[in-house]
Amino acid sequence: MKTRIWGFAAAAALSALAAVPASAHRQWMMPSSTVLSGDDVWVTVDAAVSNDLFYFEHQPLRLDAMKAWAPDGNEAAIENKATGRYRSTFDVHLTQKGTWRIASVVDGVMGSYDLNGKTERLPRGTTTANLAERIPAGATNVRTAESNNRNEIFVTVGEPTTNLFVPTGKGIELVPVTHPNDLFAGEAATFQFLLDGKPVAGLPVTVIPGGIRYRDQLGQLDFQTDADGKVEINWPEPGLYWLNVTTPRAGREEDAAAAAGPQRRASYVTTLEVLAP
């Protein structure tokens, strides 16, 4: 996605504008249910990158990094995977009671180096593990920054549990004050977001209700984390909501960017289901 954006942003003057379409594509997962009962429980998930929420109309979300964790912390199988033209889909057999996590976490390294008088970008797919081999001998002025992108959803069989919410300390993570599978319209929910394991004030949090195709107004709700990394959200109505948290984007002045090197970036995406009271 991002390489395409960069492609037509050849002119430096356009690079600021290029950020707009980049943020307009939204990646998401949509589970068949978030609150489940029964003895033999399955969830099916659609996953896509699109403009409108939650309609698969642009690109499928790649499943390479998709994983699931059972309430006891063990990794569980992603079954019946398929990636079509506009969406991916898969199933998870929910064999335990409690809250499950389904997540695609993609970590990477962005950056550049100078070689033979030219500045080169690190290729896509660079990670901390392969960084050393991707920097050629003789490279100077190596500037790198880590990027962490987490797209995850939670589904609960029976009573919600919280033992999967122990932060890894990497990227942006959600810590429930209100459990993400216990949301009702008319009740405020509070979530804490950690960046690399620590609360950070001022992280932008965007919340957009699904069903965009059939209304004129986006209905976007904007928040910023407080000093504890927390936001309180009042759901205007029942439905599915897309929630996105990012590290703040600084201005893209070429000079400033060159001087400071690449910025450390992290993003968090989840889909929340708010039930009718």
Partner 1 sequence: MQLATPARILGGTIGLGAVLVAPAVAANPGTMDVTIHIPRLKVAEYHKPYVAIWVEKPGSKAKTVAVWYDHDMKANEGTKWLRDVRQWWRAAGRSMSFPANGITGATRAPGAHKISFSRVQLGATDAGQYTLVVEAAREVGGRELLRIPFSWPAKASAGGRAAGTSELGAVSIAFR
Residue 185 found at the interface with partner 1 (CB under 8 A): no
Residue 159 found at the interface with partner 1 (CB under 8 A): yes
Phi, psi angles (nearest 5°) of residue 6? -60, -30
User: Given candidates 13, 24, 39, 132, which one binds partner 1 under the rule CB under 8 A?
Assistant: 39
Cβ-based neighbours of 54, under 8 Å, separated by 6 or more = 28, 30, 46, 48, 210, 240, 242, 271
Asked if 74 and 61 touch (Cβ cutoff 8 Å), the reply is no
CB of 166 to partner 1, least distance (A): 22
CB of 6 to partner 1, least distance (A): 45
User: Given candidates 160, 204, 236, 239, which one binds partner 1 under the rule CB under 8 A?
Assistant: 160
Judged by CB, which is closer to partner 1: 39, or 133?
39
Q: What sign does the CA torsion over 15, 16, 17, 19 have?
A: positive
Overall residue count recorded for the chain in this entry: 277
Judged by CB, which is closer to partner 1: 160, or 236?
160
Asked if 143 and 115 touch (Cβ cutoff 8 Å), the reply is no
Residue 239 found at the interface with partner 1 (CB under 8 A): no
Residue 189 found at the interface with partner 1 (CB under 8 A): no
Q: What sign does the CA torsion over 111, 114, 119, 124 have?
A: negative
Judged by CB, which is closer to partner 1: 158, or 236?
158
Judged by CB, which is closer to partner 1: 7, or 277?
277
- Residue spans of alpha helices (H) in the chain: 2-8, 15-24, 131-134, 254-260
Asked if 201 and 225 touch (Cβ cutoff 8 Å), the reply is yes
- Residue spans of alpha helices (H) in 104-212: 131-134
Q: Which stretch binds partner 1 (CB under 8 A): 11-19, 31-39, 56-64, 208-216?
A: 31-39
Report the candidate in 106, 96, 104, 85 with the shortest Cα–Cα distance to residue 43: 96
Residue 222 found at the interface with partner 1 (CB under 8 A): no
Judged by CB, which is closer to partner 1: 65, or 275?
275
Residue type, 240: L
The Cα–Cα gap between 174 and 153 comes to 11
Residue 117 found at the interface with partner 1 (CB under 8 A): no
Residue 137 found at the interface with partner 1 (CB under 8 A): no
Judged by CB, which is closer to partner 1: 37, or 190?
37
Q: What sign does the CA torsion over 51, 176, 162, 186 have?
A: negative
Q: Which stretch binds partner 1 (CB under 8 A): 30-38, 43-51, 53-61, 66-74?
A: 30-38
Residue 41 found at the interface with partner 1 (CB under 8 A): yes
User: Given candidates 3, 11, 38, 259, which one binds partner 1 under the rule CB under 8 A?
Assistant: 38
Residue 262 found at the interface with partner 1 (CB under 8 A): no
CB of 174 to partner 1, least distance (A): 21
**Interface residues toward partner 1, by CB under 8 A:** 33, 35-41, 156, 158-160, 182, 184, 275-277
